Each structure stands twice: as C-alpha cells, then as structure tokens.
C-alpha cells in the first residue's frame, strides 16, 4: 500500500497515492488487484449432506440492506468427498449458485479472514453463513435461504462415487475465477451455494462438502 501522496490539479486539487523512496522521491502507486477496500476470504467447515428431498443450502454471502459497500465476489469453489457408493441410476445433486435478495438465516457464521491484516476492516453488513457448526457436524438448524426461481448464476453436477474402484472424478469445482467472472452484490443482494435434488440418496449424510470464497468490499 502507498505510504504518502502528492496533490494533482483537478479543479480544486486531488491526491494521488505514492510511495516514498529512500532519497525522498515520490513514486506513484497503481493498484490493479483491488480498489482499496477490504479483501476477504472465507472457508467453511466440512459440511455433511442432508438426506432429504428439498435440497440443501451449503453456504451464503449477503450484503445487507442499507450497506455502504458493494461486494465484488471474485471466487467460489466447492469440493466433495464421499465414503458411500451411489447407484449409477441415482443422479448426483446439482450445485447451483443463486443470486438472492432475502437475507439467509440459521446455519452457522463463517469466519471472515482478511487478506491484509493491516488493510481496511470488513463491513458488518457482509454476512457469511454455512450449514455446519464444526467439521462433520451439521448446524443445529439448517441454513435457510429464499431462492428466486431461475436466479441461477452458474451450475454443475456434483461428482459421485459409483463403486469403491470407480470414481466419477472431479477436482475442486471453481465457479468464479476472478477477473471478468465476478458477481457484484449491492445492498440487499447475496449469493447462495445450494444443492438441488429430490431424493435422499442423492445427498446422504456421509457426503462431505467444503466451500471457499474470495471477495472485495469497496465504496462505490
């Protein structure tokens, strides 16, 4: 980060960021990786599947109404490990990223980790939730979110363990990869990572999920 600035002429005068060299000269700082706001990351516990028929909400990030920041969601990844086989005739769950407006509830808070401990602090308006209270322990009350019909930003089928000797392999699934692949969350907007399925056998409690995300908060 810059440690000083010099004024530039822009009507009444505007500061530009610089860093000072040992001889006292100023060198302009150009920040290409962020907009000077909070840069955060979050990673869930190991989340057990919920063997129901109405799907499961694994993770959410939401920017509250009245928030003074915009959230630039740069990266979301999902990974899965299974210890019990699924019949080849049983479809895997679909992992979907929904854009929502209603604040998700219940579940368990995810720790927000700053990429720069000396940088701008995260906004209390940004809420991150998961469906586990510890590794391998489901939240006492399942993460709940209102998912608008058709508001799917991206999706992918989950991998599945068909036999102990044959695995439908998938490495970590990356739904956003930074750059132009970001999602902007303005006040009263969020993203939910949800599993859509209709059979209990599609997401048994022995399936274990993890979700990570990276975002930036900035003042528009």
Q: Share the mean pLDDT of the chain.
A: 88
* Chain segment 136-163, per-residue pLDDT in tens: 999 999 999 999 999 999 999 998 888 8
Phi, psi of 180 (to 5 degrees): -80, 0
* Chain segment 166-196, per-residue pLDDT in tens: 665 657 888 887 655 689 999 999 999 999 9
Of residues 169 and 77, the one with the higher pLDDT is: 77
- In this structure, what token pair is assigned to residue 199? 């059979």
Angle at 29 between CA 27 and CA 32, to 5 degrees: 155
- In this structure, what token pair is assigned to residue 186? 């303005």
Share of residues in the chain with pLDDT > 70 (%): 86
Matching residue, tokens 């990030």: 61
Q: Is the pLDDT of residue 214 over 80?
A: yes
- Please tell me the pTM assigned to this model: 0.82
pLDDT band at 55 (very low <50, low <70, confident <90, very high): very high
* Chain segment 7-45, per-residue pLDDT in tens: 666 666 677 777 788 888 888 766 555 566 899 999 999
Q: What is the pLDDT of residue 179?
A: 59
């Amino acid at each position: 980060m810059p440690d000083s600035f010099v004024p530039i002429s822009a009507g009444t005068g505007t500061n530009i960021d610089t860093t000072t060299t040992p001889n006292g000269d100023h060198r302009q700082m150009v920040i290409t990786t962020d907009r000077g706001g909070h840069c955060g990351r979050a990673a869930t516990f190991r989340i057990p599947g919920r063997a129901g028929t109405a799907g499961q909400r694994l993770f959410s990030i939401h920017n509250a109404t009245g928030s003074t920041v915009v959230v630039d969601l740069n990266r979301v990844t999902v990974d899965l490990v299974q210890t019990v086989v699924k019949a080849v005739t049983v479809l895997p769950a679909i992992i979907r990223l929904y854009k929502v407006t209603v604040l998700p509830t219940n579940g368990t808070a995810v720790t927000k980790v700053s990429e720069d401990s000396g940088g701008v602090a995260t906004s209390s308006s940004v809420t991150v939730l998961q469906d586990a209270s510890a590794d391998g322990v489901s939240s006492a009350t399942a993460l709940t979110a209102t998912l608008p019909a058709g508001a799917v930003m991206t999706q992918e089928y989950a991998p599945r363990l068909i036999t102990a000797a044959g695995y439908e392999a998938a490495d970590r699934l990356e739904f956003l990869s930074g750059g132009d692949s970001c999602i902007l969350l303005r006040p009263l907007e969020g993203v939910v990572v949800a599993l859509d399925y209709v059979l209990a056998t599609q997401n048994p409690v022995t399936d274990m999920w993890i979700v990570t995300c990276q975002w930036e908060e900035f003042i528009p």
